[in-house]
Structure 1
């Protein structure tokens, strides 16, 4: 299919689903299908994964896409193509190099002037001593000082100009690095097209949907929480920081965010049977079918045309199955070049078309082998027993087809006749029976290439894997994946780290724009209603400070991932806190910092005594006194946490004497240490409260606490 035979359509990027790494793009194209049903949809990014292209027809019954593949087109750009940023960087680079050269020449002049000094003439031994001309020395010193003064003044000007040009160059280079990658290179414009073949259209207007995967897109969640004091609910706005370098600008697209891994495996596990006996390789899907009959006669007319160039004839003489030049009536091509050394047999993991595992005994006493997966020459094997007589030459093609040679590579082709005076190559082993097993490269039907008539007889007219992937496209994808190493915003967490064992998707409420510049852009996703109440927490045994907290409850069916949250209280920005992961139905705390309007004071008292019939038990009586004072203009709820010792010794007893309570297991918003006790009280505005608690530790006389019995 060529450009002239396929009608070109334009496509519009409609929606993008950004995963933890990578994105799934969806384009829409509309047009009238030509009679031959061949359409080229242009405008795809250079970094797309060719194996992920999917196409389907929307809304039209009876029309379907029968073929979809990716092709790359390149054309030279005209002189008027706008490339202002790149040209500006080149101009400033030249200007910086020129300014640096002027500065360096000025430094060399300064060194030359600094090296000026008087040199007295050589004196003969017979000449009397002469007086030094001090005036000449002083005049030279004045000249050097004046010269250096002027040179240094010029040097300051040159260094200032160099700094200015360097700053402009750094700014321009940064703008070029941050510019969108959705632009052609300096000299060549590369266009990626989807070549589609439609069936059943019949000159009708259809709408196509193209879906493909691209690397180079990441996102992290951010939030904005707004509430008013005394209100039991709040507005939590989910926003996402999105960065992409996919090679195309996302302009006016619907954006969805997913926590799943786009490249993870999705195949289901298979439970295989357990067999007792000799280990056999698991049969793999062959994907092979018998080649058509008479495939060797397809090129009879090509062979009968006449002589071919010498290079082609030489290649045909060396290649397997090609007739020598004398048989075609052409001139001799000279001496036959030496045969290449036989390739080494591939490892067992690369066995191809029905070959038995290496070392598996086969008929004829020949060690098992595996044909070359790309249809190359058969490696030589040393027979362990006399081989069976060779089949006639006329029966070779038929035997080759029956032995498992499929449309991909077939069985090995026979070697060319040996030159006079050269030892004949070893005869190939008998054909291997069994179904062929092509490798993954042969099963990639879109990448197979039909070999032409100039190939070896065992390859002509058959499909083989084409050349390796495009290195230019691989470089585009490598550059696109650099966004995964971008530094995260403050307190941001990647979705795969915070999502845990679940995957969720968030759909943005409105369309958004995200340029392909590899920097973070904020996209508003949705507004999530959350339950909200303000509580105050203090742990006076660790710090006599009361902290304000927001208790968030998620009553929706959407999970809230961990990330930074901007807290706005009564229309005033308070701070940016870290929101933990909040599953549907979960409750978590968000700290807001110290509350200066509430004071707490803690005092302790310890009394040590003995008890028991023979005073053999040490009693440590701990008393805890906590005072709270609310200086705010509204009532508050304060939670005071204390800690009671926990013992694993059966003869050590701990008796509590307080009205505190132990938190229920699993009901707290965060994990609490064993022995935690909680006081919860409502404190009116301007009121004070006192809390009394304590516990006794009864220890046998022969034991003592590590570090001493006295504890604060």
Structure 2
């Protein structure tokens, strides 16, 4: 009893890698190992994936971990557990209910006073007419008005108090809903620990590293760009908006962000060889062995004790499986599965005393799983219908928990079901569930249908764990910040990882928190772009060049020029070595003017060719105090008619072919020029369209 506290180690969360959805956490624990080598590491979240637990020993080459499994328990909360926010919500809820009750009672009084009105006594036919007591009626009206005025004044005060209490209650309830899920929500605390077995530790002090995956964590990138006009570079700070509801607060941890999908399979496919002949590869060894002799008589004493007490009918919510806690345990497991159908009739064994549950059924199966069949096919389920050819009943494998049970004999008057398919010859082929020996459960004496005393795969379903994971995965539905893009969508077919330079704190509240990852060196230059044929306005752009070996994911970027915040733009995905433009809006200091002229004539020996001469004149004026680089875009017609020819007469150039957003429209032409401060420039260009005289352009020849 004294060794148990020594085997219970606390752990500290050291680092977290946040993926596109989900995260991998790394915890460190240090302590002295007991003589039996068993260690319990506490502090794990309730939403972790049990199959993702990994453990290893740091700094001790001779010590290794031989077993690692997850264990769930429940403990009562201590008196010092912080619960002020929940108690505040309960107090404000009571005050809100009391204020609402006072307001409702005041409304009732107002209705009672409002219903007061004079009622004359009934008049009989022989009675003469009475005089109306006007003074009494007026006194009653004055009384009602006075009382209603006082009651309405009191009602105004009560409604104001109700609104104040309702506002405080709503704010407190919202704070509680957004509070960290690291604190327990009941009077019992559910604890999750990792049970480890160490080999070769002796009595030394060792350090353990635990790694596990949790759902309920998402992130999106964001940037802050600082640039000074005239400089050829800038500072691009990568930030991340992270939201998590994993059930544990990330306090002072190293954060890394990855674009990979945590749920994607990473195991390599195996292609088995097909061999002809007697020489076959040796099968992989497994833990299967023949069942022990006398398994049928194992429960003869239990059966001889007589029938047990009749089970009491319990509500469905109170029925719990073998892994459930008590009524105050904090969680429940699956309801007990119904007993399987009875097996087909078999030769009766040796007579045994009649007892609770009837005579024991024959035990044709073992409690292990044999190796895979020769030839390397896919794993198959054990056939419960009977022994295979050349197989003794003692060496048959057992069916797993989800296998179809043998069918009972059909009742008279009913159709006989078709016989099961013929079993495949050869030794039994266990499934992956049957080979998971850590998940096998020994069936008790109350099981029927040949399951008594045998190992069957247990049910991995835990409703409480499923509920925790459902709440954790709800963060994937959070609305994204403005202009944010999911990293899995912007990364494309490549995966990237970004490591934060400093430790960060991210509570488990399911809201977005900003984390600074680091500074990324980028090349920057300011260029101005205009398309005067569409709009006679010059736009300022920042040309970003990524010289690093990591991609810049799409996301919002806050642009600051000369220490003044300019705007928040959308940064596209920038691959390593790529160049992209980011628009900054119109540049009011640069003016552009475009004029066109069309002259139509004929040429040729018989004037059989129509010549459409288009002239384009563009003027630029730089009103800024610094030189600028302007790119002017024009468009030349493109034809696929063999009779039409287009001849260009300008010093513009055709752009390079691009892909995606950098792809230009067919016929695009560019002018690039440097304008000094306060200078003007004129650009002249044009093209001729030559078509046969009997033909015309669609929409008329005089279109610009």
Give the superposition deviation at 1:619.
2.4
Whether the 8 Å CA contact 1:317–1:324 is kept in 2: the answer is: no
Give the superposition deviation at 1:552.
0.5
Could you list the per-position Cα deviations for residues 683-711 of structure 1 after superposition, in whole angstroms to 9, with x for gaps in the alignment?
00001111111112223234333333322
* Alignment of structure 1 residues 41-120 onto 2, 5 Å: 41-120=41-120
CA distance in 1, matches of 2:203, 2:423: 52
CA distance in 2, matches of 1:237, 1:273: 53
Superposition CA RMSD, Å: 4.0
CA distance in 2, matches of 1:240, 1:427: 62
- Matching residue of 2:227: 227
Whether the 8 Å CA contact 1:102–1:158 is kept in 2: the answer is: yes
- Matching residue of 2:531: 539
- Matching residue of 1:595: 587
* Alignment of structure 1 residues 366-377 onto 2, 5 Å: none
* Alignment of structure 1 residues 601-620 onto 2, 5 Å: 601-620=593-612
| Range 577-586 or range 57-66, more displaced | 57-66
- Matching residue of 1:133: 133
CA distance in 2, matches of 1:19, 1:697: 57
Question: Match of 1:484, SS?
Answer: helix
Label 1:333 to 1:647 Cα distance change in 2 as closer, same or farther (>3 A). closer
Label 1:306 to 1:123 Cα distance change in 2 as closer, same or farther (>3 A). closer
Which structure 1 residue ranges, 5 or more long, are not aligned? 276-284, 340-351, 357-368, 382-386, 392-397, 419-424
| Range 146-155 or range 635-644, more displaced | 146-155
CA distance in 1, matches of 2:349, 2:90: 58
Q: 1:511 aligns with which of 498, 503, 513?
A: 503
CA distance in 2, matches of 1:429, 1:612: 89
- Matching residue of 2:543: 551
- Matching residue of 1:311: 308
Give the superposition deviation at 1:49.
0.2
Whether the 8 Å CA contact 1:405–1:411 is kept in 2: the answer is: no
Q: Does 1:576 align with 2:564?
A: no
Q: Does 1:401 align with 2:394?
A: yes
Question: Match of 1:297, SS?
Answer: coil
Give the superposition deviation at 1:305.
7.5
* Alignment of structure 1 residues 431-470 onto 2, 5 Å: 433-456=425-448, 458-470=450-462
- Matching residue of 2:631: 639
Give the superposition deviation at 1:615.
3.3
CA distance in 2, matches of 1:296, 1:6: 42
Could you list the per-position Cα deviations for residues 152-190 of structure 1 after superposition, in whole angstroms to 9, with x for gaps in the alignment?
111111111111111101110111111111112221101
Give the superposition deviation at 1:589.
0.5
Label 1:453 to 1:655 Cα distance change in 2 as closer, same or farther (>3 A). same
Whether the 8 Å CA contact 2:370–2:430 is kept in 1: the answer is: yes
Label 1:572 to 1:370 Cα distance change in 2 as closer, same or farther (>3 A). closer
CA distance in 2, matches of 1:205, 1:323: 60
Question: Match of 1:125, SS?
Answer: coil
Could you list the per-position Cα deviations for residues 118-138 of structure 1 after superposition, in whole angstroms to 9, with x for gaps in the alignment?
333322223333343333333
CA distance in 1, matches of 2:589, 2:108: 69
Whether the 8 Å CA contact 1:400–1:410 is kept in 2: the answer is: no
Whether the 8 Å CA contact 1:616–1:700 is kept in 2: the answer is: yes
- Matching residue of 2:327: none
Q: Does 1:292 align with 2:311?
A: no
- Matching residue of 1:659: 651
- Matching residue of 2:486: 494
Whether the 8 Å CA contact 1:578–1:590 is kept in 2: the answer is: yes
CA distance in 2, matches of 1:650, 1:426: 75
Question: Match of 1:65, SS?
Answer: strand
Give the superposition deviation at 1:289.
5.2
CA distance in 2, matches of 1:305, 1:274: 51
CA distance in 2, matches of 1:209, 1:703: 82
Aligned residues: 651
CA distance in 1, matches of 2:404, 2:631: 82
